[in-house]
Amino acid sequence: MSQPRLHLISFDLCPFVQRAVITLLEKGIPFERTYIDLANKPEWFLQLSPTGKVPVLQVDDATLFESSVIAEYLDEVYGPQLHPLDPLTKAQHRAWMEFSSATLGSLWSFYTAANTEGLENARKDVLGKIARLEAAVSNGPFFAGESISLVDAAFGPVFRYFPVLESLGESGWFDAAPKVHAWSTALLAHPSVVDAVQPGYSDKLKVFIKSKGGVLATRV
């Protein structure tokens, strides 16, 4: 039986798109990719995406949306399996994938903060989440040990923000979290995570931060 045609609809800075791409690359699955401008969404895309968000994965004539759903579909259909087999452990991994989404929300609040108070409150929120991760992550190199998982695919895009934030003068994120720091370093060097974004990602992210007009925009 021939494999279905996979077409991923993307936005070049979207961390949720990166989750899907990391999963595809980790499994070596051929796929096509189309980038759209989320500020000017084409009508054909709005017909496909009930939420108006990326990623969207077309599987032949079928359409999937939501990054976690896409990642888990790919994990069920294509090897090697990235989710643990044990149902309880798998459920725990799914919970940490949700936690990665919450962490992305905290980071958004940080780099779009309109004033110093908002910036500091968001920083405390991010640091609190990193502390939670420090208590949960393995001794490495990845979240659960030697093998990469869908949790790693979810957190690779999270960790990609920190080098950019450090370049804008916001450092010290992992001072109290050495295991998370080691995990972040391993993921940011891992091929599927490296290749999940286009060249020039960091510069594009800085331009995006500047466009938000917050505290960090003045440092770009």
In the chain, CATH 1.20.1050.10 covers 87-219
Neighbouring C-beta atoms of residue 87, cutoff 10 Å: 8
Query: Annotated catalytic, 14?
Result: yes
Span 102-131, average pLDDT = 98
Using CA atoms, how far apart are residues 155 and 138, in angstroms rounded to an integer? 14
What phi, psi does 32 have (nearest 5°)?
-100, 160
What pLDDT digit, counting tens, does each position of 85-95 carry?
A: 999 999 999 99
**Bridge partners of residue 32, in order along the sequence:** 7
Using CA atoms, how far apart are residues 8 and 142, in angstroms rounded to an integer? 26
Query: Which pLDDT belongs to residue 1?
Result: 59
Q: Which CATH class is domain 6-77?
A: alpha beta
pTM over 0.95, yes/no? yes
Span 93-107, average pLDDT = 98
In the chain, CATH 3.40.30.10 covers 6-77
Query: Which pLDDT belongs to residue 39?
Result: 92
Query: Which pLDDT belongs to residue 3?
Result: 87
What pLDDT digit, counting tens, does each position of 175-211 carry?
A: 999 999 999 999 999 999 999 999 999 999 999 999 9
Is a pLDDT exceeding 70 seen at residue 66? yes
What pLDDT digit, counting tens, does each position of 143-152 carry?
A: 999 999 999 9
Kindly give the pairing relationship between strand 62-65 and strand 56-59: antiparallel
Helices (H), the chain: 15-27, 43-48, 67-77, 87-111, 116-136, 150-159, 161-167, 178-188, 191-194, 201-211
pLDDT class of 64 with cuts at 50, 70, 90: very high
Is a pLDDT exceeding 70 seen at residue 61? yes
Which DSSP category does 115 fall into?
S
169 and 127 in contact (C-beta within 8 Å)?
A: no
Q: Which two tokens stand for residue 201?
A: 């990602």
Span 102-108, average pLDDT = 98
**CATH code for the structural domain at 87-219:** 1.20.1050.10
Residue carrying the six token digits 């399996």: 81
Query: Which pLDDT belongs to residue 2?
Result: 76
Residue of 81, 97, 49 whose CA lies nearest to 148: 81
pLDDT class of 28 with cuts at 50, 70, 90: very high
Query: Which pLDDT belongs to residue 176?
Result: 98
pLDDT class of 101 with cuts at 50, 70, 90: very high
What phi, psi does 65 have (nearest 5°)?
-135, 165
Q: Which of 14, 57, 97, 133 is catalytic?
A: 14
